[in-house]
Chain A
Amino acid sequence: MKLVAPPAGTATAPGSANTAEAVFAEPWEARAFALAVTLSGGEHFAWDDFRDLLIAEIAAGDAAAANAGPARLPDDTAAAPYYERWLAALEKILCAKAMLNAEEIDLRAAAIAASPPAPTKAQGRGPIKIA
């Protein structure tokens, strides 16, 4: 099993401590990250409370992946499962702390899914450029 296959010149580009890797693969990952970090700094729960749930979700995910067959290569596709586990841990702690409940999340998600996309700035206006 090959562990890492960063595209040459990106992950460990000499001469830079920065990388070409995006911090978040999808915008929702950033929101889920920010929600957990912001809330864990407040009165509702501590970071360690969240981390315990995250560890449990990751362990469950590892076990499921191990049962599913050969380990996945940790390429970019591994990013989504990590933040899905993060999101699962976030939902669990929000519900455990009675900040939200699963039913209202389901309802809200369904409502958002059913609603038409909000018009963007470009829609309903004229051309943004004529040259």
Chain B
Amino acid sequence: MSGKHRDDHDHDHNAPESGPALRVKAIETLLVEKGLVDPKALDALVDTYENKVGPRNGARVVARAWVDPVFKARLLEDAAVAIEEVGLAAGPQGEHLTALENTATVHNMVVCTLCSCYPWPVLGLPPVWYKSAAYRSRAVSDPRGVLHEFGLDLPPGVELRVWDSSAELRYMVLPMRPAGTEHLNEEELAALVTRDSMIGTGVVAAPTAAGATK
């Protein structure tokens, strides 16, 4: 942000709002008056990303892939199309979704080195750390160190692949199904899947560990 004259102001003179909040309000009211934006559309969008779209969506995709090999094949072939089968729409930031399968020998991890590209339809909006300079740079320079800080130490024999998201390509990781989950149904499996496991900074824990925490 620029504008030296603004910095000369005291932002705390009992103004109803100040700083970026004031700036955004000014922009929104002007755009509404010009008929360029509908405040109801803004409300609906905020509600969608605060309450409706989130990692639970991706968890349903993962669970379906675990129980249905044919779906899994379609997911790996074209994730943007396959997610429609679990009632999701590719929508914004999901048009070119690609699913990356973790195996016993390959672990995938996703980053956006330039900004914050992320597969919104399946994971919602990215966590703070995903947008941080540290993650954006160190996921590339020291990915195993990053995973260690997330509490994940990959065996040396596992190949770690780091994928850089872009406007054209969004990735989600298809984590490995934990052992001991053969008796679980799709819904129960979905409850095990964490957000971080679909970014690749975590793995899905076996149900005993999950059940113990809550």
Q: Chain A interface (Cβ within 8 Å of chain B)?
A: 1-4, 6, 9, 11-19, 21, 23-24, 26-28, 30-35, 37-39, 41, 44, 47-48, 51, 54-55, 58-59, 61-62, 65-66, 71-76, 78-80, 82-84, 87-88, 90-91, 94, 99-100, 102, 104-106, 108-109, 112-118
- Give Cα A23 to B45, complex, Å: 13
A113 adjacent to B55 (CB under 8 Å): no
Residues of B within 8 A of A54 (CB): 115-116
Residues of B within 8 A of A34 (CB): 41-43, 45-46
A75 to chain B: closest CB distance in Å?
Answer: 8
B92 contact from A41, A72, A79, Cβ within 8 A: A41
| Cβ-closest chain A residue relative to B29 | A108
- Give Cα A26 to B36, complex, Å: 24
B20 contact from A11, A14, A28, A74, Cβ within 8 A: A28
B58 at the interface (CB under 8 A from A): yes
Q: Chain B interface (Cβ within 8 Å of chain A)?
A: 1, 3, 5-6, 13, 15-18, 20-31, 34, 36-38, 41-43, 45-46, 49-50, 54-56, 58-59, 92, 114-117, 124-125, 127-129, 131-135, 138, 145-146, 149-150, 167, 190-196, 198, 202, 205, 209-211, 213-214
Residues of B within 8 A of A51 (CB): 115, 117, 167
- Known contacts A3-B138, A15-B191; is-contact A28 B30 (Cβ 8 Å): no
A94 adjacent to B27 (CB under 8 Å): yes
B24 contact from A28, A37, A102, Cβ within 8 A: A28
- Give Cα A23 to B42, complex, Å: 15
A28 adjacent to B31 (CB under 8 Å): no
- Known contacts A3-B135, A16-B191, A35-B37; is-contact A58 B18 (Cβ 8 Å): no
- Known contacts A4-B149, A4-B150; is-contact A12 B17 (Cβ 8 Å): no
Residues of A within 8 A of B41 (CB): 34, 38
B27 adjacent to A116 (CB under 8 Å): no
A3 to chain B: closest CB distance in Å?
Answer: 5
- Known contacts A31-B46, A38-B42, A47-B92; is-contact A17 B24 (Cβ 8 Å): no
- Known contacts A83-B20, A109-B23, A113-B15; is-contact A35 B133 (Cβ 8 Å): no
B45 contact from A2, A18, A37, A80, Cβ within 8 A: A37
- Give Cα A51 to B32, complex, Å: 23
A24 adjacent to B50 (CB under 8 Å): yes
- Give Cα A83 to B129, complex, Å: 13
Q: Can you list 8 A-B pairs with a CB-CB distance of less than 8 A?
A: A2-B149, A51-B117, A62-B133, A66-B133, A105-B30, A108-B27, A112-B17, A113-B15
B193 contact from A6, A17, A61, Cβ within 8 A: A17
A23 adjacent to B49 (CB under 8 Å): yes
- Give Cα A21 to B21, complex, Å: 20
B124 adjacent to A23 (CB under 8 Å): yes
Residues of A within 8 A of B55 (CB): 17-19
Residues of A within 8 A of B18 (CB): 113
A27 adjacent to B135 (CB under 8 Å): no
